[in-house]
Chain A
Amino acid sequence: MEHASTSFWNLFQAKHKVIQCEPLGPPSIDIKNLTVSYPQNTVISNLTCHFDLPSLWAIVGPNGGGKSTLLRALLGLQKPTKGKVVFKGFCPCDVAYLAQQNLLDRKFPLTVGDTIAMGLFREVGIFRKYTKEQREKMQKALEQVGLASFAKTSLQALSGGQFQRVLFARLILQDAPVIFLDEPFTGVDRRTIDDLIQLVHLWLRENRLVVAVLHDMDLVKDNFPNTLLLARQFYRTGPTKNVLTKENICATTKASQMWEAEAGEEYV
């Protein structure tokens, strides 16, 4: 009984205890022994990892391995169970986050212009009008993603790739030092991926940190110098060529087979 009530209390307190913010120092994210559990299983256990600015990080691993959960936990959208996360030089609300596309309603009655304007929400607030400079910024962001003449187009008229370009334009406008992308290229055509990857490299040159959950190993090897390979208890972190080795990938496959078999046994 006592156990139950303590864990409930932890749930309540976790966000304040686990995620900390230090305004000073060179910007970085420091993760120590992070554990995130769902009622049925532990998805991330004792993860220790360090993201420096500027850099490009890919998170790869099998489905259910905790990739999205890690991003959500860092942002405070998912309560971690224990561990410590220190944001140095910025706070979690300075992170621009692109959720998985299938969580959004692509038929929502907004124009492209309305959608990217959300990126300026923190600047304009609830009431203020967009200034001339802000309008120019929006136009420039649209040009950067190759949708210059689309400001008045409805979202529902866009293809999957164009929709993703719109969301990237919104990220540009957010102008955040850290950008989390959750499967940004799933269901997106080749040409769009090539264009958006260029944007990611531009963000690196602008001294930002980009952390992206990805499935395409070739894309990771070609573009992301650092990788976090994550399969629940098993993880490897470091330079991509040291992490994405045959043994490591075999180990993640084995780990995922294990937990899938366990889940199977529970239903028997």
Chain B
Amino acid sequence: MFEFFISPFTDYVFLKRALMASVALALGCGPVGVLLVLRRMSLMGDALAHAILPGAAIGFLIGGLSLPAMGFGGFIVGFIVASLSGAISRFTILSEDASFAGFYLISLALGVLIISTQGSQVDLMHILFGTILAVDNASLLMVTGITTFTLCLLALIYRPLVIECFDPGFLRVIGGWGGMYHFLFLILVALNLVAAFQALGTLMALGMMMLPAVSSRLWARHVWSLFLFSTLFAVVSGYFGLLFSYHLEWPSGPSIILIAGIIYGISLLIAPFGVLKRQQGRY
């Protein structure tokens, strides 16, 4: 038992680091993902996650395969693209999902182009699918730093942020700076995607946010309990994902996301608001 579940993480430093990174990631992504789902902004998250790629590619050109350089580039470009696509859907006839899809396809293509012309196939694989097993001290510091910042900021603006999620017009009318909380929240999403990007790659960075968040929605009925469930699910997926990836020699990013997917599947079946329970009368 001990050998199977614990010793991989005590014997290998790189696994220990990977576990720390994924736990830190889970602590930040859990709550942010819940708010993303509640604001019905999963699509926006998707666009942001993909838009990180060209920024990360530019960072890669300048600083090589280092998370801080790629993360910074990714954050800036991701944020610009998210705001642009929001603006376009507001000022043209295009709906939000259409304009987001347009932007993230362009970003993806541009990012892949930059990396594959300037780097190697291996680099491209790393950036698209993540390398949580290669987390170094600098990256670990960055991920934990982002998590700390996220949790502190969420604690500070929790009340108005929840109001803003439920009824965006309300805060604006009573002069409560509704737009500012929305903006801060977007920054948090971008930051956490950048943190997740090293572990899971741009293609799956959103997975650590979305899957635990939608699963938690099937279990809980309060925003705070959703946070707890979502974070718990994210930590569990990180741990088991790494464990399976070690024992079965699976790639680590996809294993983590698949475990989160399995939790989602189980939740759909047995959770209080899942498919089976629903038929017995809803509440």
- Footprint of B on A, CB under 8 Å? 75-77, 92-93, 95-97, 99, 103-105, 108-111, 114-115, 118, 121-122, 126-127, 154, 156-157, 174
Contact = CB atoms under 8 A, between A and B. Distances in A.
Top 7 nearest A-B pairs by Cβ distance? A93-B175, A97-B173, A154-B221, A157-B283, A108-B166, A99-B169, A118-B163
B1 interface: no
A93 B174 contact: yes
Given A109-B222, A115-B166, A122 B38 contact: no
Given A75-B173, A93-B174, A121-B159, A109 B283 contact: no
Given A93-B175, A110-B222, A156-B221, A105 B166 contact: yes
Contacts of B172: 76-77
Contact of B222 (A76, A104, A111, A127): A111
Tell me whether chain B's interface is mostly helix, strand or loop, or mixed. Answer: helix
B167 A118 contact: yes
A121 B163 contact: yes
Contacts of A126: 156-157, 159-160
**Which of B156, B162, B170, B226 is packed against the most chain A CB atoms within 10 Å?**
B170
B282 to A, nearest CB: 8
Given A75-B173, A99-B170, A118-B166, 4 more contacts: A77-B169, A105-B38, A121-B171, A126-B156
A109 B159 contact: no
Contact of A97 (B160, B163, B169, B221): B169
Interface string B129-173: 000000000000000000000000000110110110111011111
Given A95-B173, A157-B283, A121 B160 contact: yes
Contact of B169 (A92, A103, A111, A154): A103
Contact of A93 (B38, B173, B221, B226): B173
Contacts of A92: 173
5 contacts: A76-B173, A103-B169, A104-B166, A105-B40, A118-B163
Given A109-B223, A157-B283, A122 B166 contact: no
A75 B89 CA distance: 23
A77 B217 CA distance: 31
A105 B170 CA distance: 14
Interface string B209-238: 000000001001111001000000000000
Interface in B217-275: 217, 220-223, 226
